[in-house]
Structure 1
Amino acid sequence: MTAKIRYGVVGTGMMGVEHLRNIALLPDAEVVAIVDPVATSLGWARDALGDHAAAVESFDDVATFARTAQVDAIVVASPNHTHRAVLDPLFGMDAAILCEKPLATTLADARWIVECAAAHPRPFWTGMEYRFMPPAAAFIEQIHAGRVGTLRMLSIREHRFPFLPKVGDWNRFARNTGGTMVEKCCHFFDLMRVIIGSEAVRVYCSGATDVNHLDELYDGQRPDIIDNSFTTVDFANGVRAMLDLSMFADGAEHQEEMTATGDAARLDVLIPPGNLVFSPRVGFRGEKRVERTRVAIDPVAHAAGSHEGATFFQHLAFAAAVRGEAPVEVTATDGLRAVEIGVAAEISAREHRVVDIAEVRALDASDA
C-alpha cells in the first residue's frame, strides 16, 4: 500500500458526501475516485471535493471502477438494497472496504456478504457510526469499566425528524431499505450488542406508520416504512434492552438518550449536548449524589457530518485497520447480527408477536 491511503467512494448521495468531507480531514489520505450512476450525485461529490475535484476520477458504474481504479480503500454508501450488487465486483479488488449500514436489506444478502468478507484478503468494515460518537463511546467505556455495577437494563431513545428525501425516493419503501427497523435501528441494535456484550435471543416490536409520509405517493404507491415503535430485546446473558423510536419528534431537545442501569448505579448520556449523568444508588430517601459531566466534541469533526463527529472517528479507526495497525472494530458479522435483530423486529411489528432470533436464523435463502 502507498504511504497515502487512496480512497474510492461508491455512492455519492448525502452519506457519501459526508464520507468525502471526513476523509479530507484524515492525515495521509486522499480521494482518487468517485462512483455514482446519477449525475446529480456526482455533482454533489465534486462540490464537496472543492479544488481537489479535478484530480478525482468519476465513474457512473461500479464495474468499470472495479476494473480500472487504483485504490487502497473503498467506501460503499450506495442505497441499502444495492449493497450486494455493488460489493460483488469490489471483492475482486485488492482494497479494504467500508460498507455503510445496514450491511444488507435481506438476511440472504447479509450472509453472502459475510462469506465474501471472510474470504477477502483485505479488511472489511461495517459502517456503524453511532459507536464512534464521543459521548456514546464514553458511555460504553464507563459501563464496561463497571461504573454501574452489573448491567441489568439498557434503554435507548431516538426521537428525531422524519426520513429525509433521497435520490429516487428509494428510502420510502421497505423493499429498498429493509424496513425502518433494519435501515435506521440497526445502529441501536448494534449498540445494544456492544454495550451488553451478549447476543440477542428474542425480540418484540410494536410499531406502525402513524404520521409521516401518509400523503405521499410514488408511482401510485404509498410509503410503507414504520415511523414509530417500541422494541424490547432479550439477551442471552439475561440483560434486557429497549428501543423507543419516534420519527416525528423533530422538536425534541435530545435526539438520542441512552440509559444503562446496573445493580450499583444508573448512567445516562444525552446526545446532543453530550452530557453524562451518573446516579449511584443511595437507598430509600437517601440523599441523591448525581454527577454530571460533558464530553467535548471536536468542532471540525462535528462540522464535517451529521453524526456528532462520529464519522471522522470511525474513519480514523478504519484507516488504522487499512494500514494494518489495528484490528477491524465492526466486522461483517457485526453487521449481520444487527440486521437479524432488525428483521426480527420487522416481523414482530407486522405479525404482532414475539420473534426468537433462532427463528430468524433458521430462515432459508428463499425466505430471508
Structure 2
Amino acid sequence: MTTDNHAEVPNTQPANAPDLPLQALAAFGWEPFFARQVSLEALFDTPPVRVVAVHRSGLEVVGPDIDALIPPRADATVGDWLLLDRARAHASQLLARKSLIKRRAPGTNRQEQLIAANIDTVFIVSSCNQDFNLARLERYVALVFEADITPVIVLTKADLAVDAASWIAAASAVSARVPVVALDARSVEPRQVLSPWCQPGRTVAFLGSSGVGKSTLTNALAGADLIATQAIREDDAKGRHTTTARALHRVPGGCLVLDTPGMRELQLTDAASGIAETFEDMEALAAHCRFADCQHEAEPGCAVRAAIDEGRLDPARLRRWRKLIAEDRFNSASLAERRSQDRAFGKMVKNTMKDIKARRRS
C-alpha cells in the first residue's frame, strides 16, 4: 500500500468497540510514558501507531487492527509512536520519546542520523574472533548510555572460541555497569540467555558490525528465519551486509526486536555524558588529579598517570578516552554550527518572502 501526502488511512477500529484496546497497544510497546501525553479523546480520534520500518516511499506503521504505509517524514524513525490522523496521515502527531539513538551521519554534511527510538535494551553484539574490537565496543556503549538505554554486550561464536572466558574478560573491561554474555547465536541459547531483557511489551535492539550475528540472533528469538543471513569472510572474520534497513519484529513471547544494518562508521556527537558513564573509572581517577584542568600527561599530582605507572590502568584506555572526547567535541561543535547556519538561512528566506509580498502589495 502506498500513499501520497494527502492519503487517507481507513478507519479499521470497529464502530461498536467500547474502548481502545489498551492491552493490545501494550503488545506493541505502549506504556504509561506515552499514555500521559495523550488525552482520552485523542486516543479515539487519532489511534496510536508505532513505526516499524522506514522506507523511501513512507513509514510503515502498525497498531491494533492497523497496518499502513504513511507519507515519509524526516523527524520520525523506527520505534517512534505517532497519533495517526487518518484524514491527513502526513500530519500525524509524533509523541515525545523516552529514548533516542542517533549518530553523526556518514559523510561531510554535518547532519545527525536518527537510528531508533523508544528502545529499552540494546544488545551490543561482537564476535569471539579477530573482529573483536574493544574501542568499537566502548563507542557503542557510550552511544547507548547517552540515549539513556540499558546496554548489554553479547559475544557470539563462543562455541568456536578456544577460550571464551578471555573474550568475556576483555569485554567486561569496557564498563563495570554493562553485563556481558557469551553464546552460540545458532542454538537455543539466545532465547534462554537474553530472556531477562526480552519480556512482553519490551523493545530490544541489536547493534554491531556486519557478520557478528545480529540477524541470526533475531531469528533465534523469533524461532523462525525472519531475516536472511550470510557467512563471514574466512580470511579476516569480517561480515557481509545482510540487513539493509532497520525494522522492528514482534517475536513469540511478546518482545519487539530491532535488527539493524552493520555500521561501517559510528561518529559520536552530543554524547559527553555517555562517554563519561562508559569511562567512569577514568572520570573517578581524573577527579583526584591535583589540577582541575589536568591533561594527564606530565603534570605533577596526576592521578591518571599514577594509575598507569602502578599498572592499575591500561594506557590504551586513556588514549581511547581522549579520542572519543575530542571526537565528540568536534562533531558537536560542527553540528551546532550547521544548526546555526540552517536557522540563519531559514530567517533569510522568511525575510525575503516578506519583502516579495510587500513589493507585490505596493
TM-score tier (shorter): under 0.3
The one of the two structures with greater contact order (alpha-carbon pairs below 8 A, sep at least 6) is 1
Q: Rg bigger for which structure?
A: 2
Write 1 or 2 for the structure with the bigger share of helix. 1
